[in-house]
């Protein structure tokens, strides 16, 4: 009903056909629609973000895993630690495991315990000096590189920090089965 | 264009668009469009905002006594634009009642309720009551101190009404006491029953209004000239809507919602006060005590409702000019003045927010515990255990960990937005004995390495964090589980949470206060989407820009003689 008049009003101002041809009622219609419309947009866009952001956002923090001095040098160990887990307004402590390798040169690596092939939990075979996944027999060296089996990439390292002699790790889930390390 | 036309045609053959749009938009307004008729439409605009923000909140809120408050806090501070949604709904609830009262006063003064518009008026009074019920049930939904006590008082008031009172009270509460069923019932009423009631009454109101059209000015001769509702009145309404929207946003941004702390049924020094729109009743009830209580509780609101309902049936003269209806106007203003006076008296009467008592008792109290060494969990051993479970939750990575070491998980209070104001009273009572007034000194603590109780203002750098939940968690662990200073101290921090000296609500309030002392707002919006003030400026910018464009278009139009206006006059 008003689209035609809207169109006419806009083309008059844009193309300078003849000033003053916007009819009074046409102007009022456009103005009312513009005002109500802008309120709707000013609220509608933010509200869309409100619904989308929590659905796509994941946040995790660094959690203390262990004092560095308690971790043996040269041999990977699996350490359980609790990390704060937030699900909307519910806060909980989630238990996670991390494989930590403390090198002789002082380097520290923290591996996600999840096999990058299909998500099984692998183990360390001290005799063979390698990580072995029980599901599809992927094997990895102590530094995480693939030695054999179907694993498409090295073991995933988790972000970590060392603060005052304690190891902190941030838990991240990575997508299994693909060559690239991509957070879920 | 062609397929669109075909769709239009197809639809028009099956649904009466033109008739409906005529019903909604085609109306002759006696005397022409006027800003003074815009308040009803402004109520509708705010109601639309309430409906949208209400539905948005349904995606986050849970109606349980354990989680309602937390879910509101989460939405407000951690979800983008949650502050906007919650703030608009909160302030919209206040503004809509103000607009409704202005609308009512306008109709009253104009004499627009008179025959044949009685039904429009009666439905309007019904809508006002529905809005009051929205306000009453909505206020309790966050299950915060304010809402809990408002619900407690309002259901008690409903309970003193003769005969039906006690049944009414337990039906509303879902039991003798306030509890889970209360919040579920309030929720059901607020989100299902009242919206349906509003829509039903609104349909009645609007169809009845359209039946006889707008009443127009009270002067007979001015009514002869007619103006169209669409677009003239709609344009004026839209300007009022924009003004109301900016006012609403100003309130949301510059007078943000105050978290009153989680509901604490055991808080004995909380003086509950209702929302401003129920203050008159709260105050009036003070004059009706003992056996007269039912008179106040049922009589005053009952009398006001009856007065409003019978007005068009009692005032039957056809005279509409306010200058020739002195008696009715005088009565109306007398009632309005009485309600206003009671409301003001209720507002000024002592209540929540008076901290004078707390300050008085604060210094005399040295806390409920004795100043002796208390066995609290020693944290020195837990570190040397070397066990793999020593993760201490949300320890602030990157911070200096030489401060008081505390093990144990953060309690429930860490995730609840407490009220710093309530916390201040509690601090004076429970904590200032050792930590000094406002946490500024520490009592000497012989035997401890530091020699004194830690100062909390400013707090140990190891505990401080700019992130509210992290900071709250750090303080929380100390209050929950206590702390044993290094050395052989004579004073140790008791485990207030573990030993049950303080409940989680109280601890949440204390945390908020200690954070406030260190310049961190517990209710800080950590994920605003756009900062409130920035959003405010953007909104003003959009309106300003639009106003300039419209003004430009208008001035071009005025270059030509107002032929349209003349045509309108002839119509």
Closest by Cβ to A20, choosing from B21, B73, B559:
B559
Residue of B nearest to A55 (CA): B79
Q: Which of A31, A47, A80 sits opposite B56 (nearest CB)?
A: A47
- Predicted confidence at residue B228, as pLDDT, reads 87
- The answer to whether the CB atoms of A83 and B85 lie below 8 A apart is no
If you average pLDDT over residues B28-35, what whole number do you get? 90
Pairwise pLDDT comparison (A3 vs B446), residue with the higher score: B446
Mean pLDDT of B534-558: 91
B424 and B511 share a domain? yes
Q: Looking at the structure, do residues B134 and B244 belong to the same domain, yes or no?
A: yes
Residue B336 inside a domain? The answer is no
The answer to whether A89 contacts B70, with C-beta atoms less than 8 Å apart, is yes
Q: Which chain B residue lies closest to A98 (C-alpha atoms)?
A: B388
Give yes or no for A34 touching B (CB within 8 A). yes
Residue B290 within any structural domain of the chain = no
Asked if B364 and B497 sit in the same domain, the reply is: yes
Confidence check: pLDDT of B354 > 60: no
Closest residue on chain B to A52 (Cα): B80
Average per-residue pLDDT for chain B: 85
Question: Chain B: residue nearest A83 by CA?
Answer: B393
Please report which confidence band the pLDDT of residue B221 belongs to, taking 50, 70 and 90 as the band edges: confident
Q: Which fold has domain A62-170?
A: Rieske Iron-sulfur Protein (2.102.10)
| Among candidates B395, B470, B553 on the partner chain, residue whose Cβ is nearest the Cβ of A27 | B553
Task: Name the minimum distance, in Å, from the CA of B417 to any CA of chain A.
Answer: 11
Last residue of a domain, one of B234, B264, B294: B264
Contact A133, A151 (CB under 8 A): yes
pLDDT tens digits, one per residue of B329-352? 999 999 999 999 999 998 998 764
- B81-99 average pLDDT score: 97
Do residue A89 and residue B241 have CB atoms under 8 angstroms apart?
no
For chain B, what is the domain count? 3
Contact: B80, A25; criterion CB under 8 Å: no
| A121–chain B nearest CA distance, Å | 18
Residue of B nearest to A68 (CA): B386
For B539, the closest chain A residue by CA position comes to: A42
Say yes or no: B205 and B245 in one domain: yes
Same domain, B47 and B186: yes
- B551 shares a domain with B499: no
Q: How far apart are CA B25 and CA B298, in angstroms?
A: 41
Mean pLDDT of A34-55: 94
User: Which range among A84-98, B17-31, B242-256, B377-391 shows the weakest confidence by mean pLDDT?
Assistant: B377-391
The answer, yes or no, to whether residue B190 has pLDDT greater than 90, is yes
Same domain, B485 and B553: no
pLDDT at A22: 54
- Give which of B247, B241, B329, B251 is closest to B39, Cα–Cα: B241
Mutate to test the interface with A, among B91, B388, B472 (most CBs of A within 10 A): B388
Interatomic CA distance for residues B256 and B348, integer angstroms: 22
- Percentage of chain B surpassing pLDDT 70? 87
Confirm whether B106 is domain-assigned.
yes
Cβ of B395 within 8 Å of Cβ of A54? The answer is no
Q: Could you give the CA distance from residue A99 to residue A114 in angstroms, rounded to a whole number? A: 10
Q: Does the residue B307 lie in any domain? A: no
Backbone φ, ψ for residue A157 (5° rounding): -85, 145
Identify whether residues B83 and B204 lie together within a single domain. Answer: yes
pTM of the model: 0.82
Tokens of B450: 């530091």
Chain B neighbors of A21, CB-CB under 8 A: 557, 560
Q: Report the 10 Å Cβ neighbour count for A56.
A: 6
pLDDT of B562: 47
Q: Do A89 and B67 touch (CB under 8 A)?
A: yes
Judge whether B271 lies within some domain: no
CATH of the domain at B207: 1.20.810.10
Cross-sheet strand order for the sheet of A160-163: A62-67, A166-170, A160-163
Read off the pLDDT band of B125 (50, 70, 90).
very high
State yes or no: pLDDT of B570 exceeds 60. no
The pLDDT value given to residue B262: 93
Beta-carbon contacts below 8 Å between A and B: 167
List of chain B residues whose C-beta atoms are within 8 Å of the C-beta of residue A70: 386
| B41 and B90 together in one domain | yes
pLDDT at B112: 94
Question: For B489-499, what is the mean pLDDT?
Answer: 91
Report the alpha-carbon angle A129-A134-A135, nearest 5: 140
pLDDT in tens, B399-445: 333 344 455 778 889 999 999 999 999 999 889 999 999 999 889 99
Nearest to B564 among A24, A51, A80 (CB): A24
For residues B180-196, one letter each, b for 16 or more C-beta atoms within 10 angstroms of the residue's C-beta and e for the rest, the string is eebbebbbebbbeebbe
Interface test with B, best of A5, A18, A24 (most B CBs within 10 A): A24
Q: How confident is the model at residue B143 (pLDDT cuts 50, 70, 90)?
A: very high
Measure CB to CB from residue B392 to each of A32, A34, A64 and give the nearest one: A64
Identify the band that residue B513 occupies on the pLDDT scale cut at 50, 70 and 90: very high
Domain definitions of chain A by residue range: 3-56, 62-170
Q: Are B455 and B561 found together in one domain?
A: no
Using CA atoms, how far apart are residues B386 and B63, in angstroms rounded to an integer?
43
Alpha-carbon distance B134 to B136, whole Å?
A: 6
pLDDT band at A59 (very low <50, low <70, confident <90, very high): low
Q: Nearest-CA distance from A157 to chain B in Å? A: 18
Together in a domain, B534 and B500:
no
Chain B nearest-CA residue for A80: B388
pLDDT at residue B560, rounded to an integer: 52
Question: B-contacting residues of A 100-139, CB under 8 Å?
Answer: none
State residue B486's pLDDT score. Answer: 87
Q: What is the mean pLDDT of residues A66-84?
A: 90
For residue B221, being part of any structural domain is answered with yes
Return the pLDDT at A3. Answer: 39
Given this model, what pLDDT does residue A55 score?
83
- Chain A residues near residue B529 by CB distance under 8 angstroms: 46, 49-50, 53
Contact B81 A50 (CB under 8 A): yes
Residues whose CB is less than 8 angstroms from the CB of residue A52 and which lie 6 or more positions away in sequence, other chains included: none
Q: Name the 3-class secondary structure at B30.
A: strand
Dihedral through CA B238, CA B242, CA B247, CA B249, nearest 10? 130
Nearest by Cα to A65 from B395, B379, B389: B389
pLDDT at B9 over 70: yes
What mean pLDDT do residues A142-157 have? 93
Residues of the domain holding B495: 357-384+393-517
Q: Is residue B303 part of a domain?
A: no
Q: What is the mean pLDDT of residues A20-28?
A: 72
**Per-residue tokens: B49:** 């905002």
Write down the pLDDT at residue A122: 95
Categorize the per-residue pLDDT at B249 as very low, low, confident or very high, splitting at 50, 70 and 90.
Answer: very high
DSSP B438: G
* B413 contacts: CB under 8 Å, gap ≥ 6: B472, B476, B479, B480, B497, B504, B505, B507, B508, B511
Q: Hey, are the CB atoms on B530 and A168 less than 8 Å from each other?
A: no
Domain co-membership, B483 together with B365: yes
Confidence at B292, pLDDT banded by 50, 70, 90: confident
Of A21, A31, A62, the CB nearest to B550: A31
Q: Determine the distance in angstroms separating the CA of A21 from the nearest CA of chain B, rounded to an integer.
A: 6
Q: Is the pLDDT of residue B121 over 90?
A: yes
Q: How far is B186 from chain A (nearest CA, A)?
A: 22
The distance of Cα A39 from the centroid of its chain, to the nearest Å, equals: 33
| Among candidate residues B466, B467, B459, B413, the one with its CA nearest the CA of residue B438 | B459
The reported pLDDT for the residue numbered B297 is: 85
Task: Name the nearest CA neighbour of A100 among A92, A91, A90, A108.
Answer: A108
A89 to B564: CB separation less than 8 angstroms, yes or no? no
Confidence at residue B381, expressed as pLDDT on a 0 to 100 scale: 33
Q: By the 8 A CB rule, do A50 and A158 touch?
A: no
**Percentage of residues of chain A with pLDDT beyond 70:** 87
Does residue B312 lie within any of the structural domains?
no
The average pLDDT across B117-132 equals 97
């Amino acid at each position: 009903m008003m689209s035609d008049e809207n169109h006419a009003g806009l083309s008059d101002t844009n193309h300078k056909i003849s000033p003053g041809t916007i009819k009074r009622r046409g102007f009022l219609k456009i103005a009312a629609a513009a005002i109500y419309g802008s309120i709707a947009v000013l609220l509608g866009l933010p509200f869309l973000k409100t619904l989308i952001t929590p659905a796509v956002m994941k946040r995790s923090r660094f959690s203390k895993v262990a004092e560095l001095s308690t971790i043996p040098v040269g041999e990977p160990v699996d350490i359980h630690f609790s990390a704060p887990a937030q699900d909307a307004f519910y806060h909980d402590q989630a238990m996670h495991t991390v494989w930590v390798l403390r090198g002789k040169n002082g380097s520290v690596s923290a591996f996600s315990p999840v096999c990058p092939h299909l998500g099984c939990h692998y183990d360390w075979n001290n005799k063979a000096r390698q990580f072995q996944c029980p599901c599809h027999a992927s094997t990895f060296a102590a530094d995480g590189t693939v030695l054999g089996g179907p694993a498409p990439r090295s073991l995933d390292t988790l972000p970590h920090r060392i603060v005052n002699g304690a190891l902190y790790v941030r838990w991240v889930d990575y997508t299994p089965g693909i060559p690239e390390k991509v957070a879920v | 264009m062609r397929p669109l036309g075909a769709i239009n045609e197809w639809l028009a053959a099956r649904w009466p668009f033109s008739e409906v749009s005529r019903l909604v938009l085609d109306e002759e307004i006696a005397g022409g469009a006027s800003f003074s008729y815009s308040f009803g439409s402004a109520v509708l605009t705010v109601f639309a905002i309430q409906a949208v923000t209400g539905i948005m909140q349904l995606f986050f809120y849970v109606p349980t006594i354990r989680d309602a408050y937390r879910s509101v806090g989460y939405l407000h501070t951690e979800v983008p634009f949650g502050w906007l949604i919650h703030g608009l709904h909160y302030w919209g609830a206040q503004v809509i009642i103000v607009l409704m009262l202005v609308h009512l006063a306008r109709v009253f003064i104009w004499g627009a309720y008179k025959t044949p518009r009685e039904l429009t008026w009666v439905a309007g009074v019904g809508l006002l009551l529905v809005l009051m019920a929205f306000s009453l049930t909505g206020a309790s939904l966050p299950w915060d101190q304010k809402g809990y006590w408002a619900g407690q008082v309002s259901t008690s008031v409903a309970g003193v009404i003769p005969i039906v009172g006690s049944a009414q009270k337990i039906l509303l509460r879902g039991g003798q006491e306030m509890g889970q069923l209360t919040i579920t019932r309030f929720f059901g009423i607020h989100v299902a029953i009242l919206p349906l009631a509003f829509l039903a009454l609104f349909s009645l109101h609007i169809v009845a209004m359209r039946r006889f059209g707008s009443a127009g000015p009270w002067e007979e001769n001015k009514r002869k000239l007619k103006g169209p509702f669409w677009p003239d009145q709609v344009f004026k309404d839209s300007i009022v809507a924009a003004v109301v929207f900016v006012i609403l946003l100003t309130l949301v941004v510059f007078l943000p919602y105050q978290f009153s702390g989680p509901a604490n049924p055991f808080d004995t020094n909380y003086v509950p006060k209702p929302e401003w729109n129920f203050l008159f009743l709260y105050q009036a009830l003070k004059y009706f005590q003992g056996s007269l209580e039912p008179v106040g509780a049922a009589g005053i609101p009952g009398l006001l409702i009856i007065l409003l309902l019978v007005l068009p049936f009692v005032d039957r003269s056809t005279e509409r000019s306010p200058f020739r209806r002195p008696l009715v106007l005088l009565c109306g203003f007398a009632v309005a003045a009485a309600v206003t006076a009671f409301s003001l008296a209720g507002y000024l009467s002592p209540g929540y927010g008076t901290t004078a008592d707390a300050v008085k008792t604060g210094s005399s109290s040295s806390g409920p515990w004795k100043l002796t060494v208390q066995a609290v969990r020693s944290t020195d051993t837990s570190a040397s255990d070397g066990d793999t479970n020593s993760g201490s939750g949300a320890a602030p990575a990157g911070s200096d960990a030489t401060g008081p070491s505390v093990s144990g998980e953060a309690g429930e209070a860490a995730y609840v937005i407490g009220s710093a104001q309530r916390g201040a009273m509690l601090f004076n009572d429970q904590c200032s004995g050792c930590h000094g007034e406002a946490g500024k000194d520490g009592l000497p603590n012989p035997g401890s390495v530091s020699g004194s109780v830690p100062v909390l203002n400013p707090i140990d750098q190891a505990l401080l964090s700019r992130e509210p939940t992290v900071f709250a968690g750090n303080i929380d662990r100390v209050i929950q589980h206590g702390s044993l200073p290094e050395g052989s101290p004579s004073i140790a921090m008791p485990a207030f949470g573990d030993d049950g000296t303080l409940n989680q609500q109280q601890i949440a309030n204390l945390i908020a206060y200690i954070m406030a002392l260190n310049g961190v707002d517990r209710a800080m919006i950590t994920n605003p989407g756009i900062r409130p003030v920035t959003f405010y400026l953007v909104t003003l910018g959009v309106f300003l820009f639009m106003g300039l464009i419209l003004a430009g278009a208008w001035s071009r139009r005025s270059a030509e003689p107002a032929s349209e206006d003349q045509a309108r006059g002839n119509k």
